[in-house]
Chains A and B, each alone.
Chain A
Amino acid sequence: GAGVSQSPSNKVTEKGKDVELRCDPISGHTALYWYRQSLGQGLEFLIYFQGNSAPDKSGLPSDRFSAERTGGSVSTLTIQRTQQEDSAVYLCASSLGLTGGFDQPQHFGDGTRLSIL
């Protein structure tokens, strides 16, 4: 079946521009997560959605970063006034959340490679 879909796969933009990254989770997955992976770093949590609400935004690095999720499905991550340090691979994951008392594992997309010139 279809996995987590992210678009674009690659994005190159100039410093100071705004960018929007899109994530289409696996159908029926209520939980959605954004992470980023910078060069030489592990994966860094950004934000978590349960349905359309975001109970945990603790990983957003600054107020230039925001995310929303509509209809319990697609999510967009927006970075305003991009800086060179925003260059990274942005990964989206989705899961069934808590099912049958057990936390379900996260399934990852291929990521968006963002390069800020």
Chain B
Amino acid sequence: AQSVSQHNHHVILSEAASLELGCNYSYGGTVNLFWYVQYPGQHLQLLLKYFSGDPLVKGIKGFEAEFIKSKFSFNLRKPSVQWSDTAEYFCAVKKLTGGGNKLTFGTGTQLKVEL
């Protein structure tokens, strides 16, 4: 069965530190990849997505992610985090063949940014 792994469950950073959150998936076929963010008290929002083309995708609020097909990875990065980036981050994968139309999510990474 397809799975999505986010190895960091809790991350604590100081403002201006760099961020990298790992995401690996197990499916070998063609996929669409997503990062969603959930700020405290808010609903899930799309941060960025990869469908095809340039494997380095840029999203909102200075976030970017790189798709490395050979490593089945889609890690999220930000060069300098802010206190307002405190949130839970979810990686999600959609199989383009045989997967229906559903997203398979990782268990999430809780990021806390301290002043």
Partner of B102, one of A3, A33, A102, A109: A33
Chain B residues within an 8 Å CB radius of A3: 43
Say yes or no: B94 contacts A43, CB within 8 Å. no
CA–CA, A4 and B44, complex, Å: 11
Chain B residues within an 8 Å CB radius of A93: 44
Binds B, one of A20-28, A54-62, A76-84: A54-62
Say yes or no: A43 contacts B51, CB within 8 Å. no
Residues A106 and B103 in contact in the complex (CB < 8 Å), given A3-B43, A43-B90, A111-B43: yes
CA–CA, A40 and B45, complex, Å: 20
Q: Which residue of B lies closest to A107 (CB)?
A: B46
Binds A, one of B13-21, B60-68, B105-113: B105-113
Say yes or no: B107 contacts A42, CB within 8 Å. yes
CA–CA, A84 and B49, complex, Å: 35
CA–CA, A102 and B52, complex, Å: 10
CA–CA, A36 and B45, complex, Å: 16
What DSSP secondary structure best describes chain A's contact surface? strand
Interface residues of A, count at CB 8 A: 29
Q: Which residue of A lies closest to B38 (CB)?
A: A108
Chain A residues within an 8 Å CB radius of B101: 31, 33, 48, 50, 55-56, 97, 103
Say yes or no: B105 contacts A103, CB within 8 Å. no
Binding site for A on B (CB under 8 A): 4, 6, 32, 34, 36, 42-46, 49, 51, 90, 92, 94, 96, 100-108
What are 18 A-B contacts with C-beta separation under 8 Å? A33-B102, A33-B103, A40-B107, A42-B90, A42-B108, A45-B103, A45-B104, A48-B100, A48-B101, A48-B102, A55-B100, A55-B101, A56-B100, A56-B101, A91-B43, A103-B96, A108-B43, A111-B43
